Chains A and B, each alone.
Chain A
Amino acid sequence: MHSAAALTVRARVGRAPRVVAAMVGLAMLAAAGSVVAAAPARAEARTLSVTPSAELGNEVVRVAWTGFTPTLTDGTYGVIVLQCRANPTRLGDCFTANTYPDPAEGNRLGGVTAADGTGSVLFEVRPAANLPELACAQSTPCSILVYENDGVPVGPDDLPPSAVVAPVEFARSRADCPDVTDFDVRADGAASAAPAFYRWAAQRCLGNDALVLDYTETSSTSGRENFLNGLVDLGITSLPATDDELESHSEHPEFAYAPVDMTAITVVINMKDPATGRRLENVVLSPRLVARLVTNSDLSTFLVDRELRELNPGVRFPTATLSPPLLRAERSAATQMVTSWMVTSKDARDFLAGADKHRVPRNPAWRDQRYPTDAFANNSPEDDQFQPRTGQRTVGLRMFYGVRPAGTVPERTEIIGFIGIVDLPTAQRFGLPAAKIVNAAGAAVAPTDDSVRAGFELMRRTRAGTLVPAYDAADPDGTPDGDTAERAYPLVKVDYAMVPTQLDDDDKADQIRGLLEYIATEGQDDLPAGYFALPDALREQTLAVADRIQGPAAPTTTTTTVAPPTDTPPIDFGSSGDPGPFFSGDSTGGGTATPPASTDGDDGGAETPIATREIAALATTGAPLTLPALLALGGIALLGWAASGAVPAVRRVVVRVRRGTTEP
Chain B
Amino acid sequence: MTVIDLTETTATPEPVAIVATAEPVPTATPAPVASKAVVRRVVRQALLIFATFVAGFALYLFVLSALPHARAQTGLERRFRSELANAVAPVNAPVALGAPVAVVEIPAIGLHEVVVEGSDARRLASGPGHVRGTALPGQAGTSIVLGRRTTFGAPFADLDRLEVGDELTVTAGQGETPYRVRSVERAAASDASVLVASNALLLVTSDPAVVADGRLVVTATPVGAPQAPGSRVAVELGLDELGLASDRSVVGELVLWMQVLVALALGTVVAFRRWRRGPAWVVAVPVLLAVLWVVYERAALLLPATL
Residues of A whose CB lies within 8 Å of any CB of B are: 102-103, 129-130, 132-133, 174, 179-183, 186, 191, 214-218, 231, 389-394, 599-600, 602-610, 612, 614-616, 618-628, 630-631, 633-635, 637-638, 640-641, 644-645
Contact = CB atoms under 8 A, between A and B. Distances in A.
Pick the 3 closest A-B CB pairs, nearest first.
Answer: A634-B54, A624-B213, A391-B234
Contacts of B48: 637-638, 641
B228 A182 contact: yes
B85 to A, nearest CB: 14
Nearest to B87: A181
12 contacts: A600-B196, A604-B198, A609-B131, A609-B134, A609-B135, A615-B242, A619-B244, A622-B245, A624-B244, A625-B213, A627-B303, A638-B47
Interface string B113-150: 00000001000000000010111000011111000000
Contacts of B302: 626
Given A181-B174, A618-B192, 8 more contacts: A181-B91, A182-B174, A186-B228, A214-B92, A610-B134, A621-B245, A627-B211, A627-B307
A622 B239 CA distance: 10
Given A605-B140, A605-B198, A609-B141, A634 B234 contact: no
Contacts of B22: none
B239 to A, nearest CB: 6
Q: Bin chain B's interface residue count.
A: 35 or more
B237 A605 contact: no
Given A181-B91, A181-B173, A638-B51, A623 B232 contact: no
A389 B234 CA distance: 11
A603 B212 contact: no
A312 B48 CA distance: 70
B224 interface: no
Contact of B237 (A393, A618, A640): A618
Interface in B47-86: 47-48, 50-51, 53-55, 57-58, 61
A603 B198 contact: yes
Interface string B92-119: 1011100000000000000000000000
A191 B233 contact: no
B178 interface: no
Interface of B: 40, 43-44, 47-48, 50-51, 53-55, 57-58, 61, 87-88, 91-92, 94-96, 120, 131, 133-135, 140-144, 173-174, 189-193, 195-199, 206, 210-213, 228-242, 244-246, 249, 302-304, 307
A1 to B, nearest CB: 49
Contacts of B53: 634
Given A615-B192, A627-B210, A644 B40 contact: yes
Contact of B47 (A103, A217, A627, A640): A640
B211 A628 contact: yes
A216 B231 contact: yes
Given A390-B236, A644-B43, A615 B96 contact: no
B196 A608 contact: yes
Contacts of A625: 211, 213
B157 to A, nearest CB: 15
Contacts, number: 181
B304 A622 contact: yes
A80 B230 CA distance: 36
Given A394-B234, A600-B197, A231 B140 contact: yes
B151 to A, nearest CB: 9
Contacts of B43: 644
B131 to A, nearest CB: 8
B189 A620 contact: yes
B296 to A, nearest CB: 12
Nearest to B231: A214
A103 B238 contact: yes
B198 A602 contact: yes
Nearest to B41: A644
A638 B231 CA distance: 55
Contacts of B233: 129-130, 217
Contacts of A215: 231
Contacts of B58: 631, 634
B252 to A, nearest CB: 11
A626 B189 CA distance: 15
Given A607-B141, A622-B245, A630-B57, A612 B192 contact: yes
B56 to A, nearest CB: 9
Nearest to A614: B237
B192 A616 contact: yes
Nearest to A615: B192
A263 to B, nearest CB: 18
Contacts of A640: 47
A631 B88 CA distance: 45
B304 A391 contact: no
B106 to A, nearest CB: 22
Contacts of A174: 231
A600 B236 contact: no
Contacts of B245: 618, 621-622
A182 B137 CA distance: 15
B54 A605 contact: no
Contacts of A393: 234
A237 to B, nearest CB: 16
B242 A618 contact: yes
Nearest to A393: B234
A631 to B, nearest CB: 6
Contacts of A623: 246, 304
Contacts of B206: 624
Nearest to B61: A627
B54 A644 contact: no
Contacts of A391: 234-236
Given A612-B196, A619-B242, A634-B55, A392 B234 contact: yes
Contact of A609 (B57, B142, B236, B249): B142
Query: Of B230, B234, B245, which is in contact with the most chain A CB atoms at under 10 Å from its CB?
Result: B234
Contacts of B54: 630-631, 633-635, 637
Contacts of B88: 179
A616 B237 CA distance: 13
Nearest to B215: A619
A605 B174 contact: no
A43 B96 CA distance: 37
A623 B247 CA distance: 12
A612 B198 CA distance: 13
Nearest to A198: B231
B198 to A, nearest CB: 5
A622 B50 contact: no
Given A619-B192, A621-B239, A607 B199 contact: yes
B229 A186 contact: yes
A541 B257 CA distance: 66
A603 B244 CA distance: 28
Contact of A641 (B47, B94, B198): B47
B110 to A, nearest CB: 26
A11 to B, nearest CB: 64
A25 B195 CA distance: 85
A498 B107 CA distance: 43
B95 to A, nearest CB: 7
Contacts of A614: 237
B234 A191 contact: yes
Nearest to B174: A181
Given A614-B237, A622-B245, A644-B40, A103 B192 contact: no
Contacts of A132: 94-96
A231 B230 CA distance: 12
A610 B47 contact: no
Contacts of A645: 44
B221 to A, nearest CB: 8
Contacts of A186: 228-229
A578 B213 CA distance: 51
A422 to B, nearest CB: 13
A106 to B, nearest CB: 12
Nearest to A626: B303
A609 B235 CA distance: 10
Contacts of A389: 236
